[in-house]
Amino acid sequence: MSTSAHMDDSDGRERHQMEHSKIDVEGYNEGSPTRTPLATSRAQSPYTPHPTIDFDGLSWPSRGTLQRREATEKEMEERLAKLSGAVRTILECVGEDPDREGLLNTPERYAKAMLFFTKGYEDDLRAIVNGAIFHEDHDEMVIVKDIDFFSLCEHHLVPFSGKMHIGYIPNRRVIGLSKIVRIVEMFSRRLQVQERLTKQVALGLSELLQPQGVSVVVESSHLCMVMRGVQKTGAITTTSCMLGRLRSTAKTREEFLNLISRK
């Protein structure tokens, strides 16, 4: 009995792999009954090309991403020293004395913090998910709401943070909930604009799960708005990206929006 259960299991995995390999770059799954062109149900953008899980597995890398990810220990030290030097320059430029006691370790401290704030460049979707996609007949909406995130606005390098709400309607594939949180973490720990962050999480999930629909809503407060310029302290920016049935069916979309607004 246990043997046959085990065999069923591995058969399932094999089937899963086959299905996955059938997914073409446009986001279609030939074997899927719904054949919803999820990722293509919205306009393409040069910043969010398909497929999400690109050939080198970096998930929308930038030019320096691979170098950072593959850096040797020595190269990481050099990177840290270079970044610290740049922070020292900032201290000089704002009219400070980088050699006064309180600031002595600030350049290195900030450099390390900056590398942490952007650690999402060292992650990729494939490694994060690492097999945590399961076959389930569940086809009701799955919602994870109030996921806290912290990101850096790429225009000012100051933080924006807030909450992300994610919903999807499975198509025989579900993902471990903690993995959803890690996907949010990966894309937010990069230089971002809120619109792109929203889209990347939605497209990433859409490609991993080939679901019937995905929806991502992000509510965020931007320090670059709060601390400078317009200084609108209470302003919350909301962005959303809806794909598949969550985009095309008003009733389903409404259900999602109701569920995430319920406290």
Catalytic residues: 153-156, 194, 222, 224
Omega prior to 51 cis, within 30 of 0:
yes
User: What mask, x for binding Zn ion by CB under 5 A, covers residues 100 to 129?
Assistant: ------------------------------
Q: Cβ 233 to Zn ion, closest distance in Å?
A: 15
Residue 28, exposed/middle/buried by CB under 10 A (0-12, 13-18, 19+)? Answer: middle
Cβ proximity to Zn ion, 238 vs 261, nearer residue: 238
Binding to Zn ion by CB under 5 A, coded x per residue (else -) over 127-166, reads --------------------------x-xx----------
- What radius of gyration do the chain's Cα atoms show? 21
Residue 243 and residue 213 in contact, taking contact as beta carbons nearer than 8 Å: yes
Report the residue number whose CB is nearest to Zn ion.
224
Question: Measured from the CB atom, is 106 or 194 closer to Zn ion?
Answer: 194
- 224 forms part of the interface with Zn ion (CB under 5 A): yes
The number of CA neighbours under 13 Å toward the Cβ of 30 is 8
Segment lying near Zn ion (by CB under 5 A), choices 26-34, 53-61, 207-215, 218-226: 218-226
Give yes or no for a contact between 186 and 123, defined as CB atoms under 8 angstroms apart. Answer: yes
Rounded to the nearest angstrom, the gap between the alpha carbon of residue 237 and the centroid of all alpha carbons in its chain is: 18
Q: Which segment (19-27, 79-87, 169-177, 220-228) binds Zn ion by CB under 5 A?
A: 220-228
Residues recorded for the chain? 263
Give the C-alpha separation, 247 to 4, whole Å.
41
Q: What is the dihedral of CA 66, 162, 41, 22, to 10 degrees?
A: 50
- How near is the Cβ of 149 to Zn ion at its closest, in Å? 16
Nearer to Zn ion, 91 or 223 (CB): 223
For residue 201 the two structure tokens come to 């999480």
Measured from the CB of residue 158, what is the shortest distance to Zn ion in angstroms?
Answer: 6
Question: Rounded to the nearest whole angstrom, what is the least distance from the CB of residue 44 to Zn ion in the complex?
Answer: 25
Least Å from the CB of residue 163 to Zn ion: 19
Contacts of 41 (CB under 8 A, 6+ apart): 243, 244, 247, 248
Residue 68 or 156 with smaller CB distance to Zn ion: 156
Q: Which is nearer to Zn ion, 44 or 238 (CB)?
A: 238
For residue 10, the Cα-to-chain-centroid distance in whole angstroms is 30
By CB under 5 A, name the binding residues for Zn ion.
153, 155-156, 224
